[in-house]
């Protein structure tokens, strides 16, 4: 898990997990939440990029240990709400393949 703090107050957090699916693909999943008052300042992007980098490190370590091979497909799965548009932008890099990007729409009252 990762936590974002400002003056000792937690304003966001994120987590990651991974698994090998039935097709032998390595799936890395991460998500992060940031208090709306702190969005559009680069904090959420920094958390997402850190989690993505950490997943890459885990996949590299698993390859070094022989758990997966260089040919094992490495896919990222992520989730974002409709109010977290910046999360979508993290996946537009040329070397990232997204297998699932779920957008959850939460009605505003």
Encode pLDDT of 37-66 as tens digits.
998 888 888 888 898 889 989 999 999 999
pTM: 0.73
For residue 89, pLDDT over 60 is answered with no
CA–CA gap between residue 90 and residue 70 (Å, rounded): 24
30-44 residue pLDDT tens: 888 889 999 888 888
8-22 mean pLDDT: 92
Give the residue extent of every domain in the chain.
2-104
* Confidence band for 83, pLDDT divided at 50, 70 and 90: low
Q: Which helix (H) or strand (E) holds 77?
A: strand 74-81
**Per the CATH hierarchy, to which homologous superfamily does domain 2-104 belong?**
Gcn5-related N-acetyltransferase (GNAT) (3.40.630.30)
Closest by CA to 30, choosing from 6, 46, 10, 41, is: 46
Closest by CA to 67, choosing from 9, 106, 28, 19, is: 19
**Residue 67, number of CB atoms within 10 A of its CB:** 12
Q: Are strands 2-6 and 9-20 parallel, antiparallel or unpaired?
A: antiparallel
pLDDT at 30: 87
CA–CA gap between residue 14 and residue 52 (Å, rounded): 11
For residue 18, pLDDT over 90 is answered with yes
Do residues 55 and 28 touch, judged by C-beta distance below 8 A? yes
Do residues 105 and 82 touch, judged by C-beta distance below 8 A? yes
């Amino acid at each position: 898990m990762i936590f974002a703090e400002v003056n000792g107050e937690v304003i966001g957090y994120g987590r990651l997990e991974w698994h090998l699916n039935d097709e032998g693909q390595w799936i890395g999943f991460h998500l992060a939440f940031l208090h709306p008052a702190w969005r559009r300042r680069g904090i959420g992007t920094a958390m997402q990029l850190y989690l993505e980098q950490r997943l890459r490190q885990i996949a590299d370590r698993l390859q070094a240990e022989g758990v997966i091979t260089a040919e094992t497909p490495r896919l990222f799965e992520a989730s974002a709400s409709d109010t977290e548009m910046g999360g979508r932008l993290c996946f537009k890099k040329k070397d990232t393949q997204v297998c699932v990007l779920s957008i959850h729409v939460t009605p505003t009252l």
